Amino acid sequence: MHNISSQVFLIILDGWGWSPIPHGNLLAETATPNLDTLLALGNWTMLKTASLEVGLPWGSVGDSELGHYNMGTGRVMLRRDNDGHEDFIQLTERAMAITETPYYKLSLGAPLRRMADRPAISLGTILAGYGLTQAKIAVTEKLPLLTHAMNGYPSLPLPGEMSFVLRQEDRLGDNLAAQKELMAQALIVINLSAADIAAHRGDLAAVRQAITLIDHQLQDIFELARAKQAVIYLAADHGNIEQMLTEHDQILPGHTTAPVVFARIDARRRQATIHWASHEQRKAKIALSTPSGLLADVGPTILEEFGLPTPNSMVGLSLRRTLIGRE
């Protein structure tokens, strides 16, 4: 039986990678006091988001669809190249274990609705099977990532799942607090994508503004979660905003191979222990950390937070005990 001590908020910071290189690193140069506070209040590790660890050829950048699929299903979806070749050279021991599991094959650039030939077991389907409700919140163009890709491409909407379209410019506090039924769900997944969308336009000023907006949104989410005695997980699907310029100052609007933060914050804790003297030192410490996990570890971690077992179809590992052990 499941044992729920609180609600869980899973916040996906779309395109928020981490890099120790300062040039063109808009995440490093933009003040994010609320993100800093959350990371100091909780505990974090780093996840790999590209190449073999997400089912792509060596050196390939990740993307939103694969990232959300990996997080939600706890597995890696093998992506074939245009010639149908599968490039799995120089596999790590863990990547080799992943490649021995079944895959959902897709073609590069295929529309979302064609990505899978059958649905996969996912965090969403498992919660629905236990009668646990969930809410998915994102802007219009990102919502299918939460309701479709992250759920393993189900043929029908999941029972007990609600969705809510977010406006990019919204502060979330009053807007979401007014959605009583939405905020009563066991799992609340929110994709915050304004920075990634601005980065794809190559608009550096808009990226900086979006980072600041999302930082304010994180404050709103923390207050909502604290009022509900909830646990917050922070994750991301791929890198982008941490590498926006070449060494010759040409704009890079695309995704990167950078790792992302995966953090657990117990919103019931009121006092943050600040481990670094400044915003710059805090971000530098995180950016220099060696990734130890995969995006596929997110689903199993959330399942353990609900006291639920990880199915054999998931090759990801729960990192919950690792994160709690650092508290």
pLDDT computed for residue 78 by the predictor = 63
pLDDT band at 150 (very low <50, low <70, confident <90, very high): very high
- For the ranges 9-18, 215-224, 234-243, 265-274, the lowest mean pLDDT is seen at 265-274
Q: What is the mean pLDDT of residues 72-79?
A: 79
- For the ranges 87-91, 117-121, 137-141, 162-166, the lowest mean pLDDT is seen at 87-91
CB 154 within 8 Å of CB 118: no
Which class is 8-325 in CATH?
Answer: alpha beta
State the Cα–Cα distance between residues 211 and 233, nearest whole angstrom: 18
Q: Which residue has the higher pLDDT, 109 or 324?
A: 324
In 131-278, alpha helices (H) = 143-144, 172-177, 194-200, 204-227
- For the ranges 7-16, 203-212, 221-230, the lowest mean pLDDT is seen at 221-230
State the Cα–Cα distance between residues 258 and 239, nearest whole angstrom: 5
Whether the pLDDT of residue 106 is over 70: the answer is: no
pLDDT (tens digit per residue) in 275-319 = 444 556 666 667 667 777 999 999 999 999 999 999 988 989 999
Residues shown for the chain? 327
pLDDT computed for residue 241 by the predictor = 94
pLDDT (tens digit per residue) in 238-268 = 999 999 999 899 999 989 999 999 999 998 7
Q: How far is CA 167 from CA 10, 13, 277, in A?
A: 18, 15, 35
Residue ranges per structural domain of the chain: 8-325
Whether the pLDDT of residue 101 is over 80: the answer is: no
pLDDT computed for residue 269 by the predictor = 67
pTM, to two decimals: 0.85
Q: Which residue has the higher pLDDT, 136 or 102?
A: 136
Whether the pLDDT of residue 113 is over 60: the answer is: no
pLDDT (tens digit per residue) in 46-57 = 999 988 778 777
Whether the pLDDT of residue 112 is over 70: the answer is: no
Nearby residues of 5 by Cβ (< 8 Å), 6 or more positions away = none
pLDDT computed for residue 155 by the predictor = 81
pLDDT computed for residue 202 by the predictor = 95
